[in-house]
Amino acid sequence: MLPVFKKSFVRSVSRRFQPVSDLVQTLLFPPRCLKCGTYMDSGTADPSAFSAYFCKSCLGSGPRPFEPPFCPWCGHVFDQGENHLCEACLKKNPRFRRISRVRASLVYSGVVKEAVPLFKYQSRLSLARPFERVLFRAFETYFMEPEPDLVLPVPLHVRRLRQRGFNQAYFLVRHFPDLYFRKFHRNPSWQVDIASLKRVVHTRPQTGLDEKSRRKNLRNAFQVSPKAQSRIKKARVLLIDDVFTTGSTCREAARVLFRHGADRVDVLVLARA
């Protein structure tokens, strides 16, 4: 009878041989900058760092972190001062605010503005590694107390999913449970849920549309799965997306979630424009 190997043993062996595998791959396929194509010295490049994918020239001063001062509601970043409500949020009636707070890991500028389209539209999936690490750090900073009940990547319509081949929002959080376990040595109380929220309308791309057109474009685009309605009711939901610009996508998703009884909806994005 063949021995039965435990998953932990297999993982241990995989980790032991990973450096050899990485070395062979580097020798056969020297790393090139994803923007300009320049060959780079692999050296001790950390695959979870942006410097593993962009040369020093293209990396510039590096990604700008999302940090105070910002608007405590929508996450709009200010150049100076203290946290305060932005002009747009001051004009809105709080009764009609559908999202409790928006937080991000990075500001949508510099190399991040170059990297996100490469990841999203050109399938540079290796970028998911540094993206998910910085996003998880933002999760630790802003959403640990209290933790959400559900982590929902904003879904793509099935036609868009077939065209792209992957949902970028899901790729940003697919390893969150593992990262959580490694950090805290326990399983999270929440789950990454890709079944409860569906995109049922194949909308036109949002790029180039103003805020009013974006809202109209997304109206009734989302739907809660009938089997998930009890799961959504009274739940604290954390929506995940790649970039928050006007917030139309997340607000429409939140509107549907609240209609099905969600107690709270927050948003965590990779980058805040």
- Indicate if 49 and 145 belong to the same structural domain: no
- Indicate if 168 and 147 belong to the same structural domain: yes
Residue pair 268/242 in contact (Cβ under 8 Å)? The answer is no
Q: What is the pLDDT of residues 215-259, one digit of tens each?
A: 888 999 999 999 999 999 999 999 999 999 999 999 999 999 999
Residue after which a domain boundary falls, among 58, 82, 108: 58
Q: What pLDDT, on the 0 to 100 scale, is given for residue 44?
A: 54
Q: Indicate whether 134 belongs to any domain.
A: yes
- Indicate if 130 and 240 belong to the same structural domain: yes
- Indicate if 137 and 253 belong to the same structural domain: yes
- Indicate if 54 and 69 belong to the same structural domain: no
Q: Indicate whether 240 belongs to any domain.
A: yes
Q: How confident is the model at residue 14 (pLDDT cuts 50, 70, 90)?
A: very low
Query: Cα–Cα distance between 221 and 253 in angstroms, integer?
Result: 8
- Indicate if 137 and 22 belong to the same structural domain: no
Q: How confident is the model at residue 13 (pLDDT cuts 50, 70, 90)?
A: very low
Based on the structure, what is the number of domains in the chain? Answer: 2
Query: Cα–Cα distance between 263 and 233 in angstroms, integer?
Result: 7
Is the pLDDT at 4 greater than 80, yes or no? no
- Indicate if 26 and 73 belong to the same structural domain: no
- Going 67 to 74 to 224 to 270, the CA torsion angle's sign is negative
Q: What pLDDT, on the 0 to 100 scale, is given for residue 94?
A: 63
pTM for this predicted structure:
0.87
Query: Cα–Cα distance between 157 and 140 in angstroms, integer?
Result: 29
- Indicate if 28 and 112 belong to the same structural domain: no
Mean local confidence (pLDDT), 63-91:
96
Mean local confidence (pLDDT), 150-159:
98
Structural domain for 35, as ranges: 17-58
Q: Indicate whether 6 belongs to any domain.
A: no
